Amino acid sequence: MMTAFWVFTLAAIGTYLIRLSGIAILGDGRELSPRVRKALTLVAPAAMAAIIANALLLDAGQWREFGAWHVAAAVAVGVALWKRSMGWTLVAGAGAFAVLLLLGF
Amino acid sequence: MPGSVVFGLAFGALVVEAGLPAWLAPYASSTVTAGASQIAIVEALRQNAPMLIAVATALVINARLALYSASLAPVFAAFPRRWKLILAYLMTDQSAAVSVLEAPRWPDPVRRRWFILGVSGPFVAVWIAGTAAGAALGPVIPEEWQIGFIVPLMFIAVMVPALRDWPAIAAAGIATAVVLLLKDLPFGLNVLCGALLGIAIAAFVPERKGTSAADIDPDTSPEVPS
């Protein structure tokens, strides 16, 4: 438990410094180099895809047995590409997951 | 804003489900204040990751905030230091985007900072409140509901609609492949490696056909609507 407390605390300090970085350093007209800017725009898709793959396709380091998780996630991805909307994706994914669980999938 | 509530509820419930004390959920949300990284920390702790790896994973995910901070530097330039310090704390994906887009409508620095406080503050407040509610509700959610599914679902909902250019698609694809190939690494290190390699390799993918055309095979280079 104390480990968790310290992890959140250290992550909080580091995250705050990241939030402050540009505001503090770039205030007087200086700009980010295009290379750094591009790398930073790739953080979100890379990090989120890594978390999705780890949470969806693996379970405690082993392959997750095929089932409701995969099917509902596929529905969510399909709706996300079709509607380009976070809200619809959540509704469709959670709805599909609930139906699959009720069907005993 | 509703997304912020749902995400908050889910994070609170996850903290409890992972066997951590409920108060850690609102503590995390009011200090780290960045949902994706908070979920990644819970996942890392669940796999008994050492502190350093859990923190590093969170900071890699939050490195995207440096981009917002850079975009907001000219917007915040005329603000007093204490305002910069407060508004930096309230910076989130949603509020940063709104602040950058709407700032030109508020040329007066005093009105502008109150406007930004007005768009940023509620997001953070709702996020913390939602988390606390989720942590309180967590214990009554039956195990059969498999609340853990909210982790991939939430990230699919945030990431997939935003996948619009080839470097981003490449980053996501490479990260996924690395995470699966390195699945036997301990402590959730596969996630950290996946994210870092996804960023590093996709940085060389050109934004659209022809930007660095020399080394692209025209038959395999994708058709990109620009």
By three-state DSSP, how is residue B43 classified? Answer: helix
Supply the pLDDT for residue B214: 41
- Banded pLDDT at A27 (limits 50, 70, 90): low
Per the DSSP assignment, residues forming a β-bridge with A62 are A59
B101 and B198 belong to one structural domain? no
Chain A residues with CB-CB distance to B20 below 8 A = 1, 4
pLDDT above 60: residue B221: no
B154 and B75 belong to one structural domain? yes
Give B20→chain A minimum CA distance, Å.
6
ipTM: 0.89
Sign of the torsion angle spanned by Cα atoms B139, B145, B151, B155: negative
Closest CB to B191: pick one of A4, A25, A50. Answer: A50
Q: Is residue B221 part of a domain?
A: no
Domain coverage including residue B185 = 163-213
Flag if A44 and B32 touch (Cβ within 8 Å).
Answer: no
Chain A residues with CB-CB distance to B34 below 8 A = 15
Give A104→chain B minimum CA distance, Å.
11
B155 and B196 belong to one structural domain? no
What is the per-residue pLDDT across A29-70, written as a single tens digit (0 to 9) for each? 677 888 888 999 999 899 999 999 999 999 878 899 999 999
Flag if B32 and A15 touch (Cβ within 8 Å).
Answer: yes
pLDDT above 80: residue B222: no
B48 and B100 belong to one structural domain? yes
B30 and B111 belong to one structural domain? yes
Q: Alpha helix locations (H) across chain B?
A: 2-17, 24-31, 35-46, 51-62, 64-76, 81-89, 93-102, 109-137, 150-159, 166-181, 189-202
Closest CB to A42: pick one of B24, B171, B183. Answer: B171
Side-chain half-sphere exposure of A19, counting CA atoms within 13 A: 22
Flag if A50 and B178 touch (Cβ within 8 Å).
Answer: yes
B174 and B102 belong to one structural domain? no
Mean pLDDT along residues A17-24: 93
B141 and B176 belong to one structural domain? no
B168 and B157 belong to one structural domain? no
What is the per-residue pLDDT across B106-120, written as a single tens digit (0 to 9) for each? 999 999 999 999 999
Structure tokens at A25: 């350093």
Mean pLDDT along residues B138-143: 82
B94 and B175 belong to one structural domain? no
What is the per-residue pLDDT across A75-105, written as a single tens digit (0 to 9) for each? 999 999 999 988 899 899 999 999 999 998 7
